Chains A and B, each alone.
Chain A
């Protein structure tokens, strides 16, 4: 600092206009940070390009993977291939892609020691919480849309667009099959939002990005195992992984939507509870470090 530096033009004594950022500005700030990070681009790129080799490899298999739904037709039908990949992605890929941002967006402030920086501007804790949540959820949905589009496109290009045998034994015409496949992928949005909120809770509670990213994936896998176990089916409606299978009803004959509605309720409850607890934790926290 040299003696020639000048002070800000406006007289500091009377200045200090109470500017307050709107939620939009706070969200824009979170997006800027997200755009500058490598992991964001890596996730989106992975979602865009990942399905291509997967579709090719599965299509080329000599013996179709019959143990998963639509596996038996995955090597001969592009629609079946995309639904096979959907069933597989819901197991750990979707929770992971979600948690990479949602599980880090709060704990990264702890990692960089920036809570004391952002909390001493003009945005309240509530505003920051909302902006981060909106950003995390929005990114999760965007990643899911990219993954869905890429998977459907690669699967149909690689596997073809023949009539599809549905989950009621019925033969579905290609144009209808495309719509149902698209709709099935879209039904994974609510539980993915649920996992984003779970990742947020884990991130806020543990203040660690490692926990925020890994724990939701592990929890997702455990929930899946529990959901597949006999004897404890009473728990299924409460698991966050159950709504990931609600799309089965769209391909059955006759179509049924009970699980989809139930899935929305389950996800809504999970989101409400996890976000409420996260917000309470953040609001009450004493920032003694960064």
Chain B
């Protein structure tokens, strides 16, 4: 049996009027892996995922999911595929349970007890009989995950799943995705947050303005990353800056509330030790961006956050 790709999207293009929302994007996801599609807002990630789900018709290119495509197979493409786009939509006048039971009908039926199981997984069992109109944003996201799990999928497609959640919700969502991935599910998720993608994904495509800025594994990406940046604030910033002359493999620049220090971990540590030894008192020493974050901003021409 040939290794079938979970997702095989080649040359996908979609324009809305003059704007090319997705421009010749190729993404290939192997079964069992966790794949991230990363990009700033407006990069085309959501549009691409909508095309995968058949919500939008591509202008050019092909999308195959487990070797099926929309043209001959129609809605059969979504066999074993589940997920949600942006904030999942439900019927506010029905309860959470009623929404899930209805979606199970549209799936051709779900085995007995599955609705209860998925409610359990997302911890909505005690709120399942309340109308969705009264749900919080986080509860709706969780119901969306439950609705996806109801299809017992082999490919889970999530569009910015942690978006809009509070820190606890974000942490829980990432943990859930990691668990699902660990159980063998193929996961394709989109995000605008590099840290999230780094934490969960194996491979990543970085999109910018509709096109692909980078394809590759997280490991390769890390190798490409520039040196991490730090913020340094002392009681004598001028003096600290002068000391940088002795450390050629780091860069020290003045910043709004101190100095930015860019360089490899070891070199920066050595420099800081030097500053302390010279009697300067450290007030603030904190990392400002991870290497991958920096790389991400570079690849997507975004304003570098200080």
> Are A and B in direct contact (Cβ within 8 Å)?
yes
A interface, CB within 8 angstroms of B? 1-3, 5-22, 25-26, 28-29, 32-33, 36-37, 112-125, 284, 286-288, 290
Bound form: Cα–Cα A119–B117 in Å: 23
Contact A123:B106 (CB < 8 A) given known A18-B76, A288-B50: yes
Neighbouring B residues of A117 by C-beta, 8 Å: 84, 88-90, 103, 147
Q: Does B83 contact A120, Cβ atoms closer than 8 Å?
A: yes
Bound form: Cα–Cα A117–B56 in Å: 14
B44 to chain A, nearest CB (A): 12
Neighbouring A residues of B87 by C-beta, 8 Å: 113
Q: Does A17 contact B55, Cβ atoms closer than 8 Å?
A: no
Bound form: Cα–Cα A11–B153 in Å: 9
- Which residue of A8, A29, A118, A125 is within 8 Å of B117 (Cβ)? A8
- Which residue of A8, A115, A121, A288 is within 8 Å of B114 (Cβ)? A8
Q: Does A284 contact B78, Cβ atoms closer than 8 Å?
A: no
Q: Does A121 contact B94, Cβ atoms closer than 8 Å?
A: no
Neighbouring B residues of A112 by C-beta, 8 Å: 89-92
B179 at the interface (CB under 8 A from A): yes
Neighbouring B residues of A125 by C-beta, 8 Å: 75
A175 to chain B, nearest CB (A): 46
Q: Does A33 contact B91, Cβ atoms closer than 8 Å?
A: yes
Bound form: Cα–Cα A113–B179 in Å: 29
Q: List 22 A-B contacts (CB under 8 A).
A: A1-B142, A5-B121, A7-B179, A10-B152, A12-B153, A12-B184, A12-B185, A13-B31, A13-B32, A15-B152, A18-B79, A19-B107, A114-B90, A116-B85, A116-B89, A117-B84, A119-B53, A119-B54, A121-B151, A122-B108, A286-B55, A287-B56
Q: Does A288 contact B56, Cβ atoms closer than 8 Å?
A: yes
What 3 pairs between A and B have smallest CB-CB spacing?
A16-B80, A19-B108, A18-B79
Neighbouring B residues of A287 by C-beta, 8 Å: 50, 55-56
- Residues B153-212 near A (CB distance < 8 A): 153-155, 172-173, 175-176, 179-180, 183-185
Q: Does A21 contact B89, Cβ atoms closer than 8 Å?
A: no
B interface, CB within 8 angstroms of A? 16, 31-32, 47, 50, 53-57, 74-76, 78-94, 98, 102-103, 105-109, 114, 117-118, 120-123, 142, 147, 149, 151-155, 172-173, 175-176, 179-180, 183-185
Beta-carbon nearest neighbor of B179 in chain A: A7
A60 to chain B, nearest CB (A): 40
Q: Does B74 contact A124, Cβ atoms closer than 8 Å?
A: yes
Given contacts A13-B185, A33-B94, A36-B91, 14 further A-B contacts (CB under 8 A): A6-B120, A8-B121, A9-B117, A12-B183, A16-B81, A18-B79, A21-B107, A112-B91, A116-B53, A117-B88, A119-B55, A122-B151, A125-B75, A288-B47
Neighbouring A residues of B109 by C-beta, 8 Å: 19, 21, 25
Q: Does A12 contact B84, Cβ atoms closer than 8 Å?
A: no
